[in-house]
Amino acid sequence: MRKEQNTAELPVLRIKENHISAIEQDLLAIEEPLEIRLGFKENGKPVHKSVSITMRTPGDDFELAAGFLFTEGIIKSVDQISKIQHCGIGAKKDAPRNTIRVDLSDGVAVDYKRLERHFYTSSSCGVCGKTSIEALQTGVCRLKEAAKPFFESGVIHRLPEILRARQNVFEQTGGLHAAALFSASGEIESLREDVGRHNAVDKLIGAQFLAGKTPVGDKLLLVSGRASFELVQKALMAGIPILAAVGAPSSLAVELANEYEMTLLGFVRDNRFNVYTGAERIGSDNRVSAKTKRAVSGKPGY
């Protein structure tokens, strides 16, 4: 698969206070629509069905499509995929091809209730386009008992700086979100960027899924923006026990994380962070009482 261009150079007039500069060239992150189509057999005949259109930054499209289908509960294992390919042509010569088709293996059953969700997913918010709140029930499973990695707070404080240093396209444009997996020692395992928070997460999880590395039970997922309900859902689908966000979580994100005993961290920046659920996975030099940890443990009855 060819490497897609993810930045574009465009003219800009810079104004600072009362000074207007000459027209200069500015590097921007490319945003293009991607249609994800599903190919399968129905009564022995090949069928192609459009599942979603999302605004994304070109690149890692196969991972994005696979991650989306996996985190939405449409597919459950990599062997259910026969082939992934680009279809059609871009709007301009050498432009990104903006349709991906994921062909399912013979005999894979298609859940039509999930495919009834024909929704437009914007780059800023995926969940708001879904047709009903009931459609969000995607078969999220409880985290396995083994999914209890322990992260020291000192390690977590370092993660945003590591993430920012590895955001190559953000450094050029200032216009991309990032999602990354970290080990308990603070090593970055994998990183993806995109104009959309949920797309960056789908690309990241899609890469793990296609490599046969899901569930991801021993890592922390750090996202550069806020923690929404949908990002918690996607992390849970991949078996990720800790979700950390540079920004704030939503109330529904906290409720979902609490229900499934995930550790959810918010405002991870400037050498501080908040623990909203699952405090038992977080360590600190300042000893916190057992009662305090239970209050944000994610366990019922606190």
* Catalytic center residues: 125
**What does the alpha-carbon distance between residue 251 and residue 233 come to, in Å, rounded to a whole number?**
14
Q: Which residue has the tokens 């059609």?
A: 88
CA dist 271 to 152, 159, 246, 263, 287, Å?
A: 13, 10, 11, 18, 17
First to last CA, the chain: 51
DSSP character for 1? -
**What does the alpha-carbon distance between residue 95 and residue 74 come to, in Å, rounded to a whole number?**
29
Phi, psi values for residue 149, rounded to 5°: -65, 155
Sequence-distant (6+) residues with CB within 8 A of 178 are 163, 166, 167, 170, 191, 192, 193, 200, 223, 224
Exposure of 213 in the CB half-sphere (CA atoms within 13 A): 15
Nearest to 6 by CA among 164, 163, 200, 224: 200
Pairing of strands 119-121, 99-104: unpaired
> Helices 61-71 and 229-237, interaxial angle, to 10°?
90
DSSP character for 217? T
